[in-house]
Amino acid sequence: MGIQDIIEGKKQWRAHMARVKALPPDYQIVYKEIQRYLFKVGPIDLPDGPLLSGVVDFFEEGVATNRGVLELIGNDVAAFCDDLVKDSRTYADIYQESVSGKLGTAEK
């Protein structure tokens, strides 16, 4: 990864966060919770993938149709996030595999 890639990545991230800041406050709060959750257990390709920008697209559509954020995602942010990444390999999967692998070698 060269310096140009880093600079471009920062520009994209700033543009993304500007879109988030343009959302109503309740949407911003829920977005931050989704982001926090996904950064902990989310898919391995989260930084490079379209997931977070897709969430912002979804939220912008909700705002445009005058729907509340909880109407869009429901009352359980974690369940919404789990549904988003259900078919993706996650950091939680890797951790579970490493723990299972260590337990398997300890039992032998």
Q: Domain limits of the chain?
A: 3-104
For residues 26 and 35, what is the distance between their CA atoms, to the nearest angstrom?
14
Mean pLDDT, rounded, for 95-107: 71
Report residue 69 as tokens. 């954020």
The residue with tokens 């988003």 is 84
pLDDT at position 103 is 58
pLDDT at position 8 is 86
- Whether 107 has a pLDDT exceeding 70, the answer reads no
pLDDT at position 87 is 82
CB atoms < 10 A from the CB of 19, how many?
14
pLDDT one-digit tens code per residue, 26-78: 999 999 999 999 888 878 777 667 889 999 999 999 999 999 999 999 999 99
DSSP three-state, residue 65: coil
For residues 62 and 55, what is the distance between their CA atoms, to the nearest angstrom?
10
For residues 60 and 43, what is the distance between their CA atoms, to the nearest angstrom?
23
pLDDT at position 2 is 85
**Which conformational region is residue 78 in: left (phi greater than 0), alpha (psi within -120 to 50 degrees), or beta?**
alpha
The CATH superfamily of 3-104 is c-terminal domain of poly(a) binding protein (1.10.1900.10)
